Chain A
Amino acid sequence: MVTTTAPPSPPAAVTRPRRAKASMTKKRREALAAYAFLAPDVLGLLAFVALPMVLAFGVAFFKVDGFGNYSYVGFANYKLMAHDDQLWSSLRITGIYVVTFVPLAFVVSFALAMLVRNHFRGIGWVRSAFFLPNVVSLVVVGLIWQFLLVDKRGAIANLLAPLGLGDVSFLGTPSLALGTYVVISVWFLMGYQMLVFLAGLKDVPKELEDAAQIDGASAWQRFRYVIWPLLRPTSFFVVVNSTIGAVTGLQAFDLVYVLTKGGPARATSTVVLYIYEQAFTFNNMGYAAALTTVVVAILVLCTGLMFAFTRGGRFDED
């Protein structure tokens, strides 16, 4: 008895850890693979985004002349901002840009997504056509629009000439330039946001829609009570993403830099362009760093508020 009962126990004792060890290894392997895939992104983020960000907070306390000389000035760079009219005007311009661009881009790209949601002949072509602007660099986008918007002789002037608007200078008139940027930006971004919405729409279970239809829900009701609520996380992502893009993104800098350099008469001088000017035209790199921290703070605040109001776009039942 002793001999029969004794032997099984050691193997049991051995197998249990062995089994556990095997699953640990698999888990660890998966984790390692995940880390390996993430590493390039994370390292890049750390080296080129996180580290400069931290440094910017430090540099903001120095006067930096652009030739490698630093002198500590405490909060002087922040105090300067109070009397910097140009800063406030550039923040105002950026604000106007954000509150017109974000909703417009949202509506247009959502409408496009609904339009190309169902399969029809030539769908691939239509989707690509809308997405195409997004794969072009913004500098090229700028050049294309510069060409289209040429005063008096451009394609758009020719189109508008019969309406008596052939003389309108979209990029040369302060009251029109910012609006023109909004339109170009929407055109640029709508394809990408359309795809995000399409992906979101794909995740809306067909059964739910069908069920609603059987229950007698109209198309509007199906949209309002089934699709729209399920799209909340997607919508939240789109809004946050395009807000941040509008403040700091490429279209707030590259496009403006290529087309008008902040003109005419500073009408398109966005805050990022202003920071660039401070750093590279005026050589006030410390001040530019301080401005950057303020923009970051504003964005953190905006994103935080959006989180608070939409609970991060989570579903109600989460």
Chain B
Amino acid sequence: MSATPFPARPHGRPSRRTVLRGGLGALAASAVGGPLLTACGGDDSGGGGGKEMSFWNFYGPSDDQGPQSKWFVSLAEQWNANNDVKVKLRYIPGKDYLSGTTLQTAFQSGQGPDIFLISPGDFLRYYNGGVLQDLSSALPAESKADYLPGLLEARSVDGKIYGLPMEIEPLAMYYSEAAFEKAGLSEADLPKTWDQTLAVAQKLTGAKRNGVMFETLPGYYQNFTWYPFLWQGDGTPIKDGKVAFDSPAAVQALKFWQDTIKNKVAPRKALGDGGGDVVSNLGSGAVAMQQSGIWAVADLRTKAKNFKYGIIPHPTPDGGKPATDLGGWAFVANAKGKNPEAAAKFITWALGSTDAEGVERQRQWNTVVKTNVPPRKSVQTAADAKGAFGEGVLKKFVSEIAPTGKPEPRFPPEVYQPIADAIQACQLNGADPGKAAADAAAKIDTFLKTYQGAPIS
């Protein structure tokens, strides 16, 4: 978006010609309407030669050169030391990677990276676009067997594996010990049901603090955090290829989030980077309970060392079952890249190696530089041996919360969007949950009738 309708330099009194030119220039700028077609700016790190593979990610090498950046850099260095086809990292800031244009424009112009990171929410979009490389043949059987059940299936189509998960990120409720103490509440008051959550949150809410918080910004992430509440009532958006969203489970889950806002115990807008940012919300004292993922343990460890907190599983509705969503990014290779076979080899080496070095690399990522549940059994064993999950919140995540989880659904945008609209409308605009669920179901149904692509799950 180079052209701006408001020139930085103020003109003198404009003549008709400048008016015309300014007007037309700005008009023309509107044709771009976002950097739709300016994507041609070639990026030399895209594609690379047959001897070089580009690896786009949002970790390293970053300016802060933190532990996560270092892990990526050393990963590339290790590979490059022993292989002819080198890996070249390109760092893209998280916000741009997640919802910016860099990746989209690169793929649209055939300049996509050879290796990149993908979240479950984006899997079908890329798979149906024909750019995901089959990794199965490069992945040894023992490595395949090492992954926890369900994880590879969520990244597979017709038995072929298209992405290797690097981590498992379950969601839970975090709470501030100080906030509970201040409100005269004890551990015995930690909520187990939705009703209790609303009641306890009421007691924790004050002039400067909200009792509980769920994500409020629309997007993939909000959907991801809402699904556990849908699953608790045995609901699902799609069942056996048909829409199943218009259900009592969906209605009650929509209503629960709505009630937290209606009762004024939850904020209408989160601080910092939103619902996943525990440091800015829970850590700052703005909320007393916050839903977030296991990554927050590492964030709090580095950015709020003295903050005392605990976690509990998601509270359930009456008669509901415990549930959480297992997020986590995966490495994928570009089938239309310069060297998809080498890229597949790199990915299976980086994340799938079962030798001591490979297991250690995974242990480092999942329990040292970042906090996750390791996606492989051997890595979990190695981490346990070091006492990574021996106590505290991480133990709870692994032993109590993760086992109730399902992998994050892979919905194409046409399914995700109606659900997002229903969540937003109920949560923030007082819409009737029954009607919102029915509207969303109708839209999903229309889409499914013409959908041609990999199975949605």
Contact = CB atoms under 8 A, between A and B. Distances in A.
Contact of B286 (A68, A152, A189): A152
Given A245-B6, A282-B414, A276 B33 contact: yes
Contact of A261 (B13, B29, B218, B267): B218
Interface string B8-25: 101111111011001101
A66 B129 contact: yes
B37 A59 contact: yes
Nearest to B20: A312
Nearest to A201: B13
A280 B101 contact: yes
* Dominant secondary structure at the A interface: helix
Interface string A303-315: 1000000001110
Contacts of B428: 172-174, 263-265
B2 A44 contact: yes
A53 B31 contact: yes
Contact of A153 (B219, B286, B413, B417): B286
A248 B31 CA distance: 9
Contacts of A153: 208, 286
A264 to B, nearest CB: 4
A237 interface: yes
Contact of A283 (B2, B28, B32, B413): B413
A289 interface: yes
Most buried by A among B1, B37, B264, B271: B37
B345 interface: no
B212 to A, nearest CB: 14
B30 interface: yes
Contact of B425 (A67, A250, A265, A282): A265
A244 B5 contact: yes
Given A152-B267, A244-B23, A280-B101, A295 B30 contact: yes
A293 B28 CA distance: 10
Contact of A312 (B1, B16, B99, B425): B16
Contacts of A67: 107-108, 129-131, 336
B104 interface: yes
Given A44-B2, A66-B104, A282-B413, A253 B36 contact: no
B90 to A, nearest CB: 19
A130 to B, nearest CB: 12
A312 B14 CA distance: 11
Contacts of B286: 150, 152-153
A56 B413 contact: no
A151 B4 CA distance: 32
Interface in A167-201: 167, 169, 171-174, 189, 192, 195-196, 199-200
Nearest to B101: A280
B370 interface: no
Interface string A236-259: 110011001101111001000000
B110 interface: yes
Nearest to A289: B36
A189 B125 CA distance: 39
A241 B29 contact: no
Interface string A283-309: 101001101110110011001000000
Interface in B35-60: 36-38
B27 A65 contact: no
A174 B261 CA distance: 13
A64 interface: yes
B453 to A, nearest CB: 11
A128 to B, nearest CB: 13
A169 B429 contact: no
Most buried by B among A64, A68, A169, A173: A68
Contact of A196 (B10, B27, B31, B267): B10
Interface string B407-443: 0000001100100010011011101000000000000
B27 A48 contact: no
Nearest to B423: A265
B4 A250 contact: yes
A279 interface: yes
Given A169-B268, A233-B13, A282-B414, A272 B217 contact: no
Contacts of A247: 30
A167 B264 contact: yes
A248 B26 contact: yes
Given A245-B6, A247-B30, A200 B13 contact: yes
Contacts of B217: 260-261, 263
B34 A49 contact: no
Interface in B265-301: 267-269, 271, 286
B23 A241 contact: yes
Given A280-B101, A283-B129, A241 B26 contact: yes
B36 A285 contact: yes
A266 interface: yes
Interface string A11-43: 000000000000000000000000000000000
Given A56-B36, A261-B218, A282-B413, A296 B19 contact: no
B288 to A, nearest CB: 13
Contacts of B32: 48-49, 52-53, 56, 292
Interface of B: 1-6, 8, 10-16, 18-19, 22-23, 25-34, 36-38, 99-101, 104, 107-110, 125, 128-131, 207-210, 216-219, 264, 267-269, 271, 286, 336, 413-414, 417, 421, 424-425, 427-429, 431
Nearest 4 interchain pairs by C-beta: A172-B268, A53-B31, A248-B30, A67-B129
Given A68-B110, A161-B207, A233-B16, 4 more contacts: A48-B38, A151-B267, A196-B10, A261-B218
Interface of A: 44-45, 48-50, 52-53, 55-56, 59, 64-69, 134-135, 150-153, 161, 166-167, 169, 171-174, 189, 192, 195-196, 199-200, 202-203, 233-234, 236-237, 240-241, 244-245, 247-250, 253, 260-267, 272, 275-276, 279-283, 285, 288-289, 291-293, 295-296, 299-300, 303, 312-314
20 contacts: A45-B25, A49-B31, A66-B129, A169-B267, A169-B268, A172-B216, A189-B6, A199-B13, A240-B23, A241-B22, A244-B30, A261-B217, A265-B431, A272-B33, A276-B33, A279-B104, A280-B100, A291-B33, A292-B31, A299-B30
